[in-house]
Amino acid sequence: MNLPHFKYHPDPLKTEVFVERRAVCPCCGKETDVVYEGPFYSIEDVKDLCPDCIASGAAAEKYDGAFQDPESVDEIDAPEALDELVHRTPGYCGWQQEYWRAHCGDYCAFVGYVGYRDLKKLGVLEEILEDPDLDDWIREMLPSLGNGSLQGYLFRCLHCGKHLLHVDCD
């Protein structure tokens, strides 16, 4: 599959916000074998966007939309990074409001959906527990992550490789 590179969401097929399905992209009018099924915030209900229209920013511009709520992100001082994240990066599907983590002055790459076992298997559980921004109740609830009412969203810093977690409840 020849997809554009998304700095902040490097494997959108694995995270299943892109799926293989033939459709006509409403933005460019071209046939595509891969369509977007993640969040897109716009007045119009837009379906089946192609990866190229997301990567170029054409979809966000045409529909005055966003793939991530700019208020639901860690704060950094880089307006160009926020623009890329919001207008040219496929989002991810959360249970409630998606939230994008940042580290080293830049947004992190979204790795995927994780539970407690996944964090242990990936060898990042101790690293996650070291995060000073992780609430105490989340630390206590981590063993139930992915088994019921808690879902984890794993991010990786593009600069130092540190893993960060966002947790969502149903």
In order, the DSSP letters of 86-111 are HHHS-----SS---B-EETTEEPEEE
pLDDT confidence band for 43 (50 / 70 / 90): very high
Local structure of residue 141 (DSSP, 8 states): H
65-116 residue pLDDT tens: 999 999 999 999 999 999 999 999 999 999 888 999 999 999 999 999 999 9
pLDDT confidence band for 6 (50 / 70 / 90): very high
Instruction: Please name the amino acid found at residue 106.
Output: D
Position 1 scores a pLDDT of 61
- Structure pTM? 0.94
Write the burial class of residue 101 (CB in 10 Å: 0-12 exposed, 13-18 middle, 19+ buried).
Answer: buried
Position 141 scores a pLDDT of 85
The whole-chain average pLDDT of the chain stands at: 94
For residue 170, pLDDT over 90 is answered with no
